[in-house]
Amino acid sequence: SRKIVIKIGSNTLAKDDGTISRAFLENLGEDVHQLMREGKQVVIVSSGARIAGVSTIGKWMRKEDINYKQALCAIGQVELMDAYRRVFEKHGIHIGQILYTREDFLEGSRSLNIRNTLFTLAEEGVVPIINENDSVCVDEIKIGDNDTLAAYTANIWNADLLIMLSDIDGIYSKNPKTCEDAKLVELVESIDELRKSIEIGCGNLFGTGGIETKIEAARKVGDYKIPMILSNGKVPHIIEKLKKGEAKGTLFD
Ligand code: ADP
């Protein structure tokens, strides 16, 4: 596969204390650099603006208030991009920021613009880093989670593969965080069969989508024949390891 979308969840990006994990980003920078040396194009969909905002400001602002939430995202998005920029700069890779709203994917001319911008950046060797524009979208009109945003992005860019990095090795028979006997599902050929065979527990501290939106993302890209791999971003150099078949994960094919 030549065109790869990598989605990074909040739980992957943030350490337990809520600050951005430099170690993760350093690893990611090296892996992406390696992919690009192999002639691949990479687009990143990254969560984490709100957490980055919180850790920058140093305290939870009145978090139930929508304006405060959006303010935190405005602050955190800058921190997030700064962290990415510093890491990719070391490898001589430029990054570009794209912030989307739901309408952008629904409306014909806007989605064409998205497509053209992605193609142009990727062909120029720039890594686009995508997030939802949380400072302008209220909950009611949001895409709502970056799993869905990553699926839209993969489809609109005609990607060959979507890699979704979370804090679990893949889809399990039950929530692996609470059930010791949960078993990893390594290959999914039918999403309907998968749904019948697993239990979905609630997600994590920072996550928004949970497993539900990841399965739906796999369905969305599957409609366009794009495979998806869900794997664990907490494993150092996970992308290199996936390439070598040395990492666990769930493949939707
Ligand atoms: P992210 O921030 O990476 O998008 P989420 O917190 O939204 O991650 O979703 C991942 C979480 O979903 C896992 O940490 C896990 O606790 C939970 N989960 C619930 N049910 C399952 C299941 N059947 N298999 C795997 N993970 C599950």
pLDDT tens digits for the chain (253 residues)? 699 999 999 889 988 888 899 999 999 999 999 999 999 999 999 998 888 888 888 765 656 678 888 888 899 999 999 999 999 999 999 999 999 998 888 888 899 999 999 999 999 999 999 999 988 877 766 788 899 999 999 999 999 999 999 999 999 999 888 888 999 999 999 999 999 999 887 655 555 568 999 999 999 999 999 999 999 999 999 999 999 999 999 999 9
Residue nearest to atom 21 of ligand 1 (CA): 175
CB of 24 closer than 8 Å to CB of 31: no
- For the Cβ of 53 lying below 6 angstroms from any atom of ligand 1, the answer is no
Asked whether 130 and 117 are in contact (CB, 8 A), the reply is no
DSSP per residue over 76-140, as a string?
HHHHHHHHHHHHHHTTT--EEEEEE-HHHHHSHHHHHHHHHHHHHHHHTT-EEEEEE-TTT--GG
- Domain enclosing residue 155, as ranges: 3-252
Question: How many domains does the chain fold into?
Answer: 1
The CB-side HSE value for 222 (13 A sphere, CA atoms) comes to 16
**Nearest atom, ligand 1, residue 204 CA:** 6
CA torsion sign for 1, 104, 130, 188 is: negative
**Nearest in space to 146 (alpha carbons), one of 23, 10, 1:** 10
Query: What is the reported pTM?
Result: 0.94
Atom of ligand 1 nearest to the CA of 8: 3
Q: Which residues of 187-196 are buried (b: 16+ CB within 10 A; e: fewer)?
A: ebeeeeebee
Judge contact between 28 and 34, C-beta under 8 A: no
Q: Does residue 8 have a known ligand-binding role?
A: no
Answer yes or no: is the C-beta of 185 below 6 A from any ligand 1 atom.
Answer: no
Q: Whose CA is nearest to atom 7 of ligand 1?
A: 210
CATH number at residue 56: 3.40.1160.10
Alpha helices (runs of H) in 163-209, residue ranges in sequence order: 191-197
Residue nearest to ligand 1 atom 26, measured at CA: 175
Which protein residue has the closest C-alpha to ligand 1 atom 22? 175
Q: What is the ipTM of this complex?
A: 0.94
Q: Is the CB of 88 under 6 A from ligand 1?
A: no
Give the separation between CA 89 and CA 87, rounded to whole angstroms: 5
Please tell me the distance from the alpha carbon of residue 73 to that of residue 47, in angstroms, as a whole number: 10
108 annotated to a ligand binding site: no
